[in-house]
A = this chain, B = another copy of it.
């Protein structure tokens, strides 16, 4: 495994050079994070469809357990069980609109991962950066377990576990565990653990920060060891179910898949689960006694357990829903954690927006009224009061409000419409409104996908590395 060790050290050096002021050493976070033997244990795979322009190019990298869809180059990088989903990459000759500018593309957009180390990271590309419209790059970057990189390139960064970089271009930043940033662009910044920060180009700013006491219970990071806490335990307890799913090359759907719906063969389905028309269940999502009504979706790394989603509900990457009932059109953001109990069901009224990185972990039954914006840490009905706001009320805000640990400045209407517009986009992109002819989206396109499996060298100096692979139409 000589070459793999060299590669890892080289990545550490490159990331550290980017993070030298002030100095931040990513080495201790990576050394021993994934035992080297693991890199030969899991196959990687890529999806092949008639809908996505094709180009996969893998050079001097390890890709253990990772999944690729859409054009992607991985160069001198270490990927471990990461999902690289390029199914919304822009194509050549399309025109990218940005603040009144029209930017015609001269080539298909491609994801480029270079000199980076991504562990269980989700990369999804609904691209946002006007500066590199043909390239969605992740360079000189380390990201830890269940981080999300969504919609923008990052370079020279360290992303802590369960953090999310959403529609934000990053240069030389450190993002703390479970922090969420959606701020357009950041350079040379340290975003503190548990910081939820949404900023809309001077129009509004939302900030909430988890206390370190709460945060440490859910996700704690010590250099030199694997992150721990409730989030990690939750996933760990269900790991074996995924191993079964990944050990078969092809399988029949375990439950009926209605018209327009797609159920990834790399999803876990247990108990009495049902999905409706136009439902999208992505790879590495987990359903147990879950009912997903028409047009709902469960994205990568979602867990939906003993819960009912009425219809047109969106569960974004990494969302977890346990013992809950969701009305129609509820949005559950990235890495949100919603857990009721059999004796304390969580009910979420229709049209609610559960902001990304919200923790609802109930000590008593809670009913969230329809059309509320919800954030923060909620255990009781009382917490709900301090951590939510009626959407109508939000839309009237123009100035500054504080509620619990949340601060908001600017136009509530702009903030709300940004989220509502995005939810609409997600439903459309997922094919939730497909009528048999119009409105095709991911749910319909991913019905006809084939998966190709790739594995590393099992012996010799290059053990754990993959050969150079180039795949074109």
CB-CB under 8 A from A50, the residues of chain B are 457-460, 462-463
Give how many A residues have a beta carbon under 8 Å from the other chain's beta carbons: 34
Of the candidate stretches A118-126, A247-255, A404-412, the one touching chain B is A247-255
Roughly how many angstroms separate A216 CA and B468 CA in the complex, as a whole number? Answer: 48
Residue interface mask A112-135, B partner, CB < 8 A = 1: 000000000000000000000000
Of A50, A450, A468, A470, most buried by chain B (CB within 10 Å of CB) is A450
Give bound CA distance, A248 to B243, whole Å: 12
B455, A450: Cβ atoms closer than 8 Å: yes
Docked-complex contact B249 and A458, CB < 8 angstroms? no
A197 at interface, CB cutoff 8 A:
no
Is B469 touching A471 in the complex (CB atoms < 8 A)? yes
Cross-chain contact B457 with A48 (CB below 8 angstroms): yes
Q: Does residue A448 face the partner (Cβ distance < 8 Å to B)? A: yes
Shortest distance in angstroms between A140's beta carbon and chain B's nearest beta carbon? 25
Copies in the complex: 2
A196 to B92, CA, bound (A): 59
Q: A249-B246, A469-B470, A471-B469 are in contact. Are A49 and B458 (CB under 8 A)?
A: yes
B473 and A462: CB pair below 8 A? yes
Closest beta carbon of chain B to A371's beta carbon, Å:
40
Closest to A456 in B: B450
In the bound complex, residues from chain B placing their C-beta under 8 Å from that of A222 are none
Whether B459 contacts A249 by the Cβ 8 Å rule is no
Inside 8 A of A458's CB, which chain B residues have their CB?
A: 48-50, 448-450
CB contacts under 8 Å to B, within A24-67, are 40, 43, 45, 48-50, 54
Tell me, yes or no, whether A96 is within 8 Å of chain B by CB.
no
In the bound complex, do residue B454 and residue A452 qualify as a contact, i.e. CB atoms below 8 Å apart?
Answer: yes
Tell yes or no: A420 within 8 A of B by CB: no
**Cβ-defined contact, B452 with A448, below 8 A:** no
Q: Which residues of B contact A45 (CB under 8 A)?
A: 453
Tell me whether A448 and B459 are in contact (CB under 8 A). yes
Q: Once the chains bind, are A467 and B463 in contact (CB under 8 Å)? A: no
Indicate if A98 sits at the interface (CB-CB under 8 A).
no
Contact B473–A471 (Cβ < 8 Å): no
Are A467 and B249 in contact (CB-based, < 8 A)?
no
- Give the residues in chain B near A472, CB-CB below 8 Å: 467-468, 470
What chain B residues lie within 8 Å of A454 (beta carbons)?
A: 452-453
In the bound complex, how far is the Cα of B268 from the Cα of A129, in angstroms?
A: 53
Q: How far is the CB of A240 from chain B (nearest CB, A)?
A: 15
**In the complex, are the beta carbons of B457 and A455 less than 8 A apart?**
no
Cα distance A457–B472 when bound, in Å?
Answer: 12
**Does A451 count as interface, using CB distance less than 8 angstroms?**
yes
Pick from B48, B247, B459: contact of A467, CB under 8 Å:
B48
**Interface set, chain A 224-269, CB cutoff 8 A to B:** 246-250
Which of A430-471 touch B at CB < 8 Å?
448-460, 462-463, 467-471
Chain B residues with CB under 8 A of A250: 43, 247
Return A420 CB to nearest CB of chain B, in Å.
Answer: 34
CA distance A455 to B49 in the complex (A): 10
Q: Which residues of B contact A49 (CB under 8 A)?
A: 457-459
Shortest Cβ distance from A454 into B: residue: B452
Give CA–CA (A258, B451) in the complex, Å. 34
Beyond A247-B250, A248-B248, A249-B246, whether A467 also contacts B473 by CB under 8 A is yes
Given A248-B247, A459-B50, also A469-B469 (CB < 8 A): yes
Alpha-carbon gap, A268 to B470, bound state (A): 32
Could you jot down 16 A-B contacts, CB within 8 Å?
A: A43-B452, A48-B455, A48-B457, A49-B457, A50-B458, A247-B249, A448-B459, A450-B455, A451-B455, A452-B454, A452-B455, A453-B453, A468-B473, A469-B470, A469-B471, A470-B472
Residues of A within 8 A of B (CB): 40, 43, 45, 48-50, 54, 246-250, 448-460, 462-463, 467-473
Please name 17 further chain A to chain B contacts, defined as beta carbons within 8 Å, in addition to the given A43-B250, A452-B453, sorted by A numbering. A45-B453, A48-B457, A50-B458, A50-B459, A50-B460, A248-B248, A249-B249, A249-B453, A448-B458, A450-B457, A452-B454, A452-B455, A453-B454, A467-B471, A469-B470, A470-B470, A470-B472
The 6 closest A-B pairs by CB, nearest first: A50-B460, A453-B453, A450-B455, A50-B459, A470-B470, A468-B472
